[in-house]
Amino acid sequence: MCTYEDLVDATLHHGLIPYVVPQLRTITLGGAVTGLGIEATSFRNGFPHESVLEMDVITGAGEVVTTRPGDELFDTFPNSYGSLGYATRLRISLERVPDRVRLRHVRFDDPGLLAKTIATIVDSGEYDGRRVDGIDGVAFAPGEYYLTVATWADEAEDAAAWREHPSDYTGQQIFYRSIQQREHDLLTMYDYLWRWDTDWFWCSGAFGVQHPVVRRLWPRRWRRSDVYHKLVGLDRRYGIADRLDRRAGRPERERVIQDVENPVDRLAEFLDWFDAEIGMRPVWMCPVRAKRNWPIYPFDPDITYVNLGFWGTVHVGPEAADAPRNRAIEAEVQSLAGHKSLYSEAFYDRETFDQLYDGAHLARVKAQFDPDDRLTSLYDKAVQRR
């Protein structure tokens, strides 16, 4: 239950951070290891579970098992979402970091060139002759893509970074807008880690918090993704947006909240398809390279994938309840040899799901560690919403 916010508070004090720090403060270490975390360091550090050295899992059988990489329970744990057991103690490796991060926001008009640049940076670890420590990007509109290339600014290598004033996006300025407005930036490591949390990427816009007047009045302690997340929960419970839509005569909305990963050489194809068929913007992009294959979320470690995150709604009309856009995304990702994260909603039939997430392997490991089937299965959790 240790959140990354608490974890970073403890480790950064010693000049250390987890190898991959998910963007949202309240994601827990256990949650990111059993789900899938991806962040700007994932192109070189993989997923949060790839820097776990050891963990204790309380299994469905009620036993506490200490498990390590190479054990069947450990290797099947990522993407199991608590269906095999609960991690109660984790030992992880940390990375030494300086306190400043230099950013370069690089614009691309052509998605093909964007994909090629990502592939080159991942392979070389450099951009324009300078080391790259973190990389993510935003597709703002068709023909308007940015990569944000981050370099840890070590005092010995870059003394100037310690004399300049770092930017602050926890006040009136908004991080995602800065990407379009400036080519270079400097942040503290702390602010870099939580740059996306303050405005929940761009989703705070739905609550008016990006309007300068509202922003000034909105308490600083509420500029956090978990606060917006709670507001979304209230909206869903009381159907506020749906009622407003009905009153205004707008078509019903379908929620499209997904993260998918496609091979980098299919990135341009996916972005073009997404623009034409779904039409939601912005889209977050983040390259990831797995260290090895994991049985129930198989990534080829020789291939660079790009995570694409899109979180919002699309007005689709009366068929919204059948989730046509979500289903189309699942089919498209499958045809591009990509993957879909299961943290949100999924609509696969049982056979397809078992094929994509190695249901046979998962069932075998579950039978071993949860012989009485006490824990809800992954299919029931992810697709049947149990």
Ligand X SMILES: Cc1cc2nc3c(=O)[nH]c(=O)nc-3n(C[C@H](O)[C@H](O)[C@H](O)COP(=O)(O)OP(=O)(O)OC[C@H]3O[C@@H](n4cnc5c(N)ncnc54)[C@H](O)[C@@H]3O)c2cc1C
Residue ranges binding ligand X (CB under 6 A): 22-24, 27-28, 30-32, 34-35, 37-39, 81-82, 86-87, 229, 343, 381
Residue 136 and residue 285 in contact, taking contact as beta carbons nearer than 8 Å: yes
At closest approach, how far in Å is the CB of 28 from ligand X? 3
**Which residues touch 4 (CB under 8 Å, ≥6 apart)?**
18, 21, 22, 24, 25, 26, 27, 28, 29, 32
User: Of the two residues 153 and 377, which places its CB atom closer to ligand X in the complex?
Assistant: 377
How far apart are alpha carbons 351 and 349 in whole angstroms? 6
Determine the number of helices (DSSP H) and then strands (DSSP E) in the chain. 15, 15
The smaller minimum CB distance to ligand X, of residues 18 and 111, is found at: 18
The minimum distance between CB 297 and ligand X, in angstroms, equals 12
CB 178 within 8 A of CB 104: no
Least distance from C-beta 27 to ligand X, angstroms? Answer: 4
- Residue 257, token pair as written in the block: 């909240």
CB of 162 to ligand X, least distance (A): 29
Measured from the CB of residue 383, what is the shortest distance to ligand X in angstroms? 13
Using the minimum distance from each CB to ligand X, give the nearer residue, 93 or 335.
93
Closest by CA to 207, choosing from 238, 173, 230, is 230
Output the smallest distance, CB 23 to ligand X, in A.
4
C-beta closer to ligand X: residue 81 or 310: 81
The answer to whether 273 and 129 have CB atoms below 8 angstroms apart is: no
Q: What is the DSSP letter of 49?
A: G
CB of 32 to ligand X, least distance (A): 5
* Separation between Cα atoms, residue 132 and residue 326, nearest integer Å: 34
Contacts of 89 (CB under 8 A, 6+ apart): 55, 56
Buried b (16+ CB within 10 A) or exposed e, 310-319: bbbbbebeee
Q: Give 87 or 306: the residue with its C-beta nearer to ligand X.
A: 87
Q: Which strand ranges, in their side-by-side order, compose the sheet holding 305-315?
A: 184-188, 100-108, 144-152, 134-141, 283-288, 305-315, 253-263, 339-340
CB of 39 to ligand X, least distance (A): 6
Identity of the residue, 24 or 114, whose beta carbon is nearer to ligand X in the bound complex: 24
**Beta carbons within 10 angstroms of residue 250's beta carbon:** 13
Residue 327 vs 381, nearer CB to ligand X: 381
Nearest residue (CB) to ligand X, 10 versus 160 = 10
> Between helices 240-248 and 225-238, what is the axis angle to 10°?
60
